[in-house]
Structure 1
Amino acid sequence: MTSTSTLLKQLLHTDSRPNPWPLYADLRAEPVSLQDDGTYVVSGYDEVSALLRDPRVSADPGYAAPGSRIGARAMAPRTAPAFLVRDNPEHDRLRGLVQRHFGPPARPGFVEGLRPMVEELIRDHIDGLVGRTEFDLVSELAFPVPVSVACHLLGIPPEDAERLGPLAEETVATPEFRVDPYDPESAATSSHAQEELTAYFVAHIQRLRENPGPDILSSMIHDDGPDGPMTLPELLSTCQLLFIGGHETTVNLITNSMLLLLRHPEQLARLQADPSLAAGVVEETLRLEPSVHLRPRIAVDDIHIGEHTIPKGASVILALAAANRDPRRFPDPDTFDITRPDTAHLSFGGGLHFCFGAPLGRMEGQIAVRELTRRLVNPRVLQDSPPYRPLPDLRGPSALRLAVDEVRPT
């Protein structure tokens, strides 16, 4: 058997971005593998699913051992930790303060109420393609639509999105997913982007403090509920999380969905014949070509799993993308089937940290693929394989150039 001890570094290298799947298959040969830098990579479905829900596994990088892969993240400059990287009780307190303004139980219809706006945004962006026979799906729709939704939620002027997008890209390039997590040049770039993003949101929060709007950030700033208002550092970390998480993954979801459909014309034809299959497209895309490939965790106690004992303080990488193609869990796991009856993927995580924005991301993805495949006549990919973003954990094309015979009017 080929050694698995260097596979993580190979995965993190940009050369692996177009086709990481053979490396994930090699990892699954040993579902829990110790890497040569002391990191444990977990790639089997059952193992990843169990650790996502295990209280002995923490999302807080502060627990990482000094000098470890995730220890590099603990050293990186940042605002107060968002609930994404907190454990209970702080996780539930902060997440609850946001949930009161975003969804059930306080606002059960909030996300669904965004549907008309999302439909209009997508329709308008496709309208802008009428008369063209070639375009880049990422820059014309897959990026601007989720960014516009995130700006709407946070009261951000739409014209600021162009400035904030590149900063968000640099900020999410976290050190644990670099080949060298302690690379000083990458750390400096990320730190500078974080400083600029923080400065923007400090000013933005102050504007909304003085002139609140109907957005959820204004509601959080002025929340006088029983748990009290968030502090400024908590507001900063939360609004950055919602802005970045609210568009980065959805850009990939829309782009990956369309790329899979165009690579599988028989599945595209099924969707065009039955637009209700859009939900199946999104779920199968999330399984087969997920937006999020890797999640970092830290063992806060010794954990016995399989033939390994992950020691307390060890860095743990949960390979969601590998688990989603585990043949022990899914029949024909490398096949794209939009009517697959069981798509219980792990792409939104699980347990305490199940993705906060999953309902909104699903809705945006479903509307986008339904409308694109309805209105694009004979769409095809001009460059396959397309160029990919450099991030290994948030994997998706940086551009997807398409050709069409025409774009149908609304």
Structure 2
Amino acid sequence: MKKLISLPFSALLVLLFSLNACKKDDKSTTAATETVQDTFPHIRPNTNKQKKLAPDYIAENRRKIELFYQKYWDKNEVSGGLLVAKNGQIIFERYSGYSNFDTKKEIDVNTPIHLASVTKRITAAAIMVLVHAEKLELDQKVKTILPTFPYPNITVRTLLNHRSGLTNYTYFFDDRKVWNHQKQVTNQDILDVFVKFEAPLDFKTDKHFAYCNTNYAMLALIIEKITGLNYRDAMKKIIFEPLKMDQTFVIDYEKEYRNESQSYKGKYRFHELNLLETVYGDKNIYSTPRDLLKFHQAVASKDYLSPKLNSEVFKGYSYERKGTRNYGLGIRMMEWNDGKQLFYHNGWWHGNTSSYVDLRDENVVIIALSNKYTTMTYKSIYLATLFGDYPLKLKKDELGF
């Protein structure tokens, strides 16, 4: 057992798939397979980065973040959670509001909230684990994985970095001639409808960047095809269980939605749902700030990917226009002329807004989640100025520091 747990994450993933394949032909492997599945490993943080923080350092930064929280979260009655951690140690953590306003169920440390497009960061991480395990390649044509996929030049990489040229399904399915709006849309429906109606690309593949939810809906189908599991179970096996993200899951709207954190407009007015609730990969992961801290510790670990693959994730792919903003593989980024980089991803779905900020140079993560519509979650990125020399537009004195 100890030897299995000490293996690199990717090696164990390969072993898991291999044992699953053997299981079909050799009943004698069943016990071993179950053992591996039950102990699918936790990715250990890079201990070299986990220097213990001084109490004075924690107290001073907590005081400053408290001022930010009072100015932006308290005054705007944000419903959600804010967590800031360095070296894996929580500096600030606060929860407020209701996951269900009708029952007055309060949001606390164990309340999962819809991550909206921060889901893309986790979908991309799962894809990269599969690439590292040599189950697919970054520059592999999608058509070789999904045979009916009608766009021959689109690769896994151009889905990840939003350079595929695919049109956005959220708009394509607005046409009632394309889809009966009384029916929910699935990921497979998107692919089938694009084939049926010969949906054109918005631009030639890899010509430029255009953020598009369809890319990540297709990546979810790729995860399903490669693993032989539905996206919900695949994410559980590849990411959630290994990282002990016990409060994190892909929502099953038909069975679970009413029992989970609800989505609200201002003043806790319930946000209506629509036909796109059952599309996943681009959204539909629920999690907590503490679980996302575990995720951050994992993707900052030397065991997550090879150095080469890790560099592919955290580099910009779109330089057609000058500017500080760019996109890697499942992560937004800002980069400045002096070489300083900041990585993040925001999300918005119905009343849910989210922000995940990864300060790689300082080993800091800033996580903000809300289930009642607000833009205050996005302002959490300016807390980066506490930890590094980030030339963000909002000045420190505007934060109240």
Question: If each structure's helix is expressed as a fraction of its own residues, which one has the higher value?
Answer: 1
Normalization by structure 1: what TM-score?
A: 0.26
Taking structure 2 as the reference length, the TM-score comes to 0.27
Which of structures 1 and 2 has the larger relative contact order (alpha carbons within 8 angstroms, sep 6+)?
1
More strand by share: 2
